A and B are shown apart, each in its own frame.
Chain A
Amino acid sequence: MIPFLLIVIPLVTGLAGFFLKNAGTARGWSLMSSLVTLVIALWSLTLAKDSPLLHTDVAWLPDLGSRFSVGMDGLSTILSLLTAVCFPLIFIATWRDSYRGRAWNFYALMLLSQAGLMGVFLATDALLFYFFWELALIPVYFLCSQWGGERRIAVTFKFFVYTFVGSLLMLIGLLWIYSKTPDHSFSMKSFYAMRSVISSKDQVWLFWLLFIAFAIKMPIWPLHTWQPDTYEQSPNATTMVLSAIMVKMGLFGVIRWLAPVLPVGTWAWGDTVSGACIIGMIYASLVAIKQDDLKRLIAYSSIAHVGLMCLAIFATTESAMQGVMIQMFNHGINILGMWIVADLIERQTGTRKISQLGGLAQKAPVLAILLVVVALANVALPLTNAFIGEFLLFSGVFTSTATQYSVVFTVVAGLSIILAAVYTLNMIQRVFYGDTNTLTAQVTDIKFNEKVVLVAIVGLILFVGVYPKPMLDLTKETAEFILTKMNYKL
């Protein structure tokens, strides 16, 4: 019941949003809708794990062996919670943005993309998962192409083609597995049962059909080239959706639909993928250090962080798996905070060039304090949420028995954390401290709506950082479950 509502509320309110024809009404409408979704997502946390409310399963395509089946375990709960938390925050943070022309279309498309994302995280049927995977993309395509920056059309199209190729390859992979299921079913259970049925030889090539789609979405080096351009050119609210939530689709896909279904393939290519991950982490961190554009800096920093999470999935240890699930949530919250700050700076000064900024702390002290907390979370300092996640990730990678290079991976990945500190602190220093110049002199401190959002984000960062137990409890069982499935012998 709950997962069904989480998908249907944004879907229906989004479709209705096209007919509102008034920017103000549409804004309020979408905030209301996202708050209702948030309340329902929070409600799901209070229920027992075996509550019937957490599952919906109705017949959809009997001839094809596909059902409209959605459910919540630890993994989907944490990601649907992330989605539900982020959307109201995004709507409030961008409350004053005006979208030229038809603003109601903008909000409607945002809600539709929320419905798609929710569906991806909640589906327990492979075909349904594929459906939502594509549906999350289409609204974003329209959002970025219509309201983005100057080069938006070409850039968004590159993004679209990348992900479309990936998802079509994934479709073939899913169809192949489906055609081998004895009961001709797309259900998650039948797919997980295939892990010991599909021969090792087939798993090895099937792995890539599925993984390319996920790797593009994350993105993993060398498939990341769409990302900085798209983040830079998209409207701010959409960039927040893309980086806070959408990249998690790739990680989620690997955990839910790849590793437990093709454990041999996952194991066979683990080192290759891990190698790509750490190359990407170092590469993205180095590029981030040289960036002068705030948005591009955050984009590259995101590639580095996601690389670490992907690396940890392939480590196949419990603490790494739990770390990934928690860190997906934390990274979403942190990067959302970074984007909001970048957005604020750009709106007030009209530039994103770090070299043209300086001395903002004198003009906007509250903003500076909040940003410092977010930035410290970005470099995973203790007492922030990211510390919990990254600690688990590193200890998981280090103790991994799935690879013989665990020490190398840990050390090189650790290097990227140091580099993260370099670019993040460097950015704070150059943007917030030093002397003001003509551009930054007329900056005022943040407004009420922005304060609400940033305080909420900082609150979440510190709360999870100090008291991570609920998160750990939530993910423990699912992490163990996935790991038993990744052992193809069981």
Chain B
Amino acid sequence: MNAILLSAIWGIIMMFSGIVTKSKTVIRNTAVIGLALLLIGNYADMMGYHLANIEVHKMLYFDTFGLLGNSIAFASTLLLVLLSGRDMEKVGHNLAEYYALIFFVLCGVSLVTTFNSLLMLFLGIEIISIPLYILTGSEKKNLKSNEAALKYFLMGSFSTGLMLLGIAFLYGASPLGSFAVDELWTPKPSVSPLLLSGILLLLISMSFKVSAAPFHFWTPDVYDGAPTVFTSFMATIVKVSIFIGFIRLFDEGFGQGAAQWQIFVAIITAATLFIGNITAVFQQSVKRMLAYSSIAQAGFMLLGLLSLTGIAKQGIILYAAAYSLATIGIFAILLRMKDYTFEGFNGLAKQQPVLAATCTIFLLSLAGIPLTGGFFAKYYMLMSVVSTGKFIWLVIFAVLCAAVSAYYYFRVIQAMYFKDGDGGTEAEPSAGFKGLLVLLAVLIVVLGVFPQVLLHQLTEWIYTW
């Protein structure tokens, strides 16, 4: 609860901060303080200290899974602002509003990670989406940014419509006439066509939001057109939070009918892995490659949706953390580059050894090499499906796709280390920036050696409404 209240309040504070001061540093520091408060507030929530005792009538359910998801989202946003806050100032004049919109997105995130009612899910998704449409188009004078925003808005509203229709179907099919996800199957479980079509509509609309194939077509254009800082935000924090909601919905709500919809998830997973990885191979721009790579990574996360075991839930938390940290790091480096193509990275290792070394660790993590968090993230996902004993073909397909992904991740490493060129950054990065990158890399390695530091919390703290 703390997170929802704090993020909404701080969003309003950020809006008005633009009137009070014109100093960019003050605005940025206010945002950093707000994010730190959010993180602390959410942690306090996990420990059992609440700002206010509000009766939520079982519409929200604050368990460790959701709250841990929040923590990852807030911590990632904090790192993003610390690393790339300066780049946000270059996007346009309305810095305070950008931060306000980010806080509103985080409010939506905290709803999506802890919802227990389909209405809350819908609210959360909408609160996330609408600020994102604005952020995508925030580079007002850039045609590509405008196009991306319009495209995102049209496709996004369409998928929201599907989601509403699905929720209506589910409401009609639920014997108790309830929106609560854990009451869909009471008193007696039965799969009516109405229920199944409701589930499928929700599957489609959620797949759209996490850019799973074949509902991914908006992703490359939107990620490419949006200002790079906000692409980084969308591709990491927003995506993994919606994933946590996705898993929550299907686990709590539709888990009992898994036999009916699992095959659809399997097909979507296979398609996402295939399309994401194969298309990423052919990209010339690192930014666009990262857009496709985010689709490919979503394919791996979908494996957790397929199995829905305890391992899968732990895995999605770990995946969220490892993937967000690595992607934020790469985007932060990309933002400083003169040239966004692969050639732009040629010879970076000679000019910026720290940037190249940390970038290598991020890329190795995305590729899933041991000693990085990305390995255990993939490990949990594969393990969750293997342990169910079904869909072994999909697991094998997934690792073959992971091998393909090594191709485009290593292309960046090859450019940085083995090719000569004058690839470099626009300006000399500050020591603080480098220090933060090293911190990110260390975090990723820690997750890769001792993943329990993050996961043991899942088993230790259980807090309910």
Q: Is the CB of B414 within 8 A of A179?
A: no
Interface residues of A in 218-245 (CB under 8 A from B): none
Interface size on B, residues (CB 8 A): 31
Q: Is the CB of A142 within 8 A of B417?
A: yes
Residues from chain A with Cβ under 8 Å of B371 in the complex: 131, 135
Residues from chain B with Cβ under 8 Å of A171 in the complex: 379, 382, 399
Residues from chain A with Cβ under 8 Å of B383 in the complex: 175, 178-179
Shortest Cβ distance from A186 into chain B, in angstroms?
11
- Asked whether A130 is an interface residue with its Cβ less than 8 Å from the other chain, the reply is yes
Q: Is the CB of A161 within 8 A of B407?
A: yes
Q: Is the CB of B370 within 8 A of A145?
A: no
A148's nearest neighbour on chain B, judged by CB, is: B418
Q: Could you say which of B382, B403, B451 contacts A161, with CB atoms under 8 Å apart?
A: B403
Q: Is the CB of B399 within 8 A of A169?
A: yes
Q: Could you say which of A61, A153, A165, A179 contacts B386, with CB atoms under 8 Å apart?
A: A179
Q: Could you say which of A61, A130, A145, A164 contacts B452, with CB atoms under 8 Å apart?
A: A61
Residues from chain A with Cβ under 8 Å of B395 in the complex: 172
Known A-B contacts A62-B452, A146-B418; the reply to A165 vs B369 at CB < 8 A is: no
Q: Is the CB of B452 within 8 A of A165?
A: no
Residues from chain A with Cβ under 8 Å of B370 in the complex: 130-131, 134-135
Q: Is the CB of A172 within 8 A of B403?
A: no
Residues from chain A with Cβ under 8 Å of B392 in the complex: 172, 176
- Asked whether A160 is an interface residue with its Cβ less than 8 Å from the other chain, the reply is yes
B405's nearest neighbour on chain A, judged by CB, is: A164
Q: Is the CB of A172 within 8 A of B396?
A: yes
C-alpha gap A176/B383 in the complex (Å)? 8
Shortest Cβ distance from A144 into chain B, in angstroms?
10
Q: Could you say which of B399, B417, B452 contacts A146, with CB atoms under 8 Å apart?
A: B417
Q: Could you say which of B364, B386, B389 contacts A172, with CB atoms under 8 Å apart?
A: B386
Interface of A is mostly: helix
Residues from chain B with Cβ under 8 Å of A135 in the complex: 370-371
Shortest Cβ distance from B445 into chain A, in angstroms?
12
Known A-B contacts A134-B369, A146-B418; the reply to A168 vs B455 at CB < 8 A is: no
Interface residues of A in 329-378 (CB under 8 A from B): none
Residues from chain B with Cβ under 8 Å of A164 in the complex: 403, 406
B459's nearest neighbour on chain A, judged by CB, is: A63
Q: Is the CB of B451 within 8 A of A152?
A: no
- Asked whether B157 is an interface residue with its Cβ less than 8 Å from the other chain, the reply is no
Residues from chain A with Cβ under 8 Å of B452 in the complex: 61-63
- Asked whether B410 is an interface residue with its Cβ less than 8 Å from the other chain, the reply is yes
Residues from chain A with Cβ under 8 Å of B450 in the complex: 61
- Asked whether A466 is an interface residue with its Cβ less than 8 Å from the other chain, the reply is no
Shortest Cβ distance from A139 into chain B, in angstroms?
12
Shortest Cβ distance from A272 into chain B, in angstroms?
20
C-alpha gap A176/B389 in the complex (Å)? 8
- Asked whether B402 is an interface residue with its Cβ less than 8 Å from the other chain, the reply is yes
Known A-B contacts A62-B452, A168-B403; the reply to A160 vs B410 at CB < 8 A is: yes
- Asked whether B176 is an interface residue with its Cβ less than 8 Å from the other chain, the reply is no
- Asked whether B456 is an interface residue with its Cβ less than 8 Å from the other chain, the reply is yes
Residues from chain B with Cβ under 8 Å of A142 in the complex: 417
- Asked whether A16 is an interface residue with its Cβ less than 8 Å from the other chain, the reply is no
Shortest Cβ distance from B402 into chain A, in angstroms?
6
C-alpha gap A96/B455 in the complex (Å)? 50
Q: Is the CB of A176 within 8 A of B369?
A: no
Shortest Cβ distance from B317 into chain A, in angstroms?
13
Interface residues of A in 137-159 (CB under 8 A from B): 138, 142, 145-146, 152-153, 157
Q: Is the CB of A152 within 8 A of B418?
A: yes
Residues from chain A with Cβ under 8 Å of B350 in the complex: 101
Q: Could you say which of A146, A157, A172, A178 contacts B410, with CB atoms under 8 Å apart?
A: A157
Known A-B contacts A131-B370, A169-B396; the reply to A145 vs B418 at CB < 8 A is: yes
Q: Is the CB of B399 within 8 A of A172?
A: yes
Q: Is the CB of B403 within 8 A of A165?
A: yes
- Asked whether B400 is an interface residue with its Cβ less than 8 Å from the other chain, the reply is yes
Q: Is the CB of A61 within 8 A of B382?
A: no
C-alpha gap A142/B455 in the complex (Å)? 32
Interface residues of A in 429-455 (CB under 8 A from B): none
Shortest Cβ distance from B403 into chain A, in angstroms?
4
Q: Is the CB of B396 within 8 A of A63?
A: no
Residues from chain A with Cβ under 8 Å of B406 in the complex: 160-161, 164
A176's nearest neighbour on chain B, judged by CB, is: B386
C-alpha gap A255/B403 in the complex (Å)? 26
Residues from chain B with Cβ under 8 Å of A157 in the complex: 407, 410, 414
Q: Mark B374-413, 1 if CB is under 8 A from A, else 0.
A: 0100010011001101001001100110110011001000
Residues from chain B with Cβ under 8 Å of A130 in the complex: 370
Interface residues of B in 330-383 (CB under 8 A from A): 350, 364, 369-371, 375, 379, 382-383
Q: Mark B430-465, 1 if CB is under 8 A from A, else 0.
A: 000000000000000000001110011000000000
Shortest Cβ distance from A104 into chain B, in angstroms?
12
C-alpha gap A165/B400 in the complex (Å)? 6
Shortest Cβ distance from B424 into chain A, in angstroms?
17
Residues from chain A with Cβ under 8 Å of B403 in the complex: 161, 164-165, 168
Interface residues of A in 48-71 (CB under 8 A from B): 61-63
Shortest Cβ distance from B50 into chain A, in angstroms?
29
Shortest Cβ distance from B365 into chain A, in angstroms?
12
Shortest Cβ distance from A209 into chain B, in angstroms?
8
Known A-B contacts A164-B406, A168-B403; the reply to A145 vs B451 at CB < 8 A is: no
28 A/B residue pairs, CB under 8 Å, sorted by A: A61-B450, A63-B452, A131-B371, A134-B375, A135-B371, A138-B369, A145-B418, A146-B417, A152-B418, A153-B414, A153-B418, A153-B419, A161-B403, A161-B406, A164-B406, A165-B400, A165-B403, A168-B399, A169-B396, A169-B399, A172-B382, A172-B386, A172-B395, A172-B399, A175-B379, A179-B383, A179-B387, A179-B389
Q: A-side interface residues toward B, CB under 8 Å?
A: 61-63, 101, 130-131, 134-135, 138, 142, 145-146, 152-153, 157, 160-161, 164-165, 168-169, 171-172, 175-176, 178-179, 209
Q: B-side interface residues toward A, CB under 8 Å?
A: 350, 364, 369-371, 375, 379, 382-383, 386-387, 389, 392, 395-396, 399-400, 402-403, 406-407, 410, 414, 417-419, 450-452, 455-456
A63-B456, A153-B419 are known; give 18 further A-B pairs, CB within 8 A. Answer: A61-B450, A101-B350, A134-B369, A134-B370, A142-B417, A145-B414, A145-B417, A145-B418, A161-B403, A164-B403, A165-B400, A168-B400, A171-B399, A172-B382, A172-B392, A175-B379, A175-B382, A176-B392
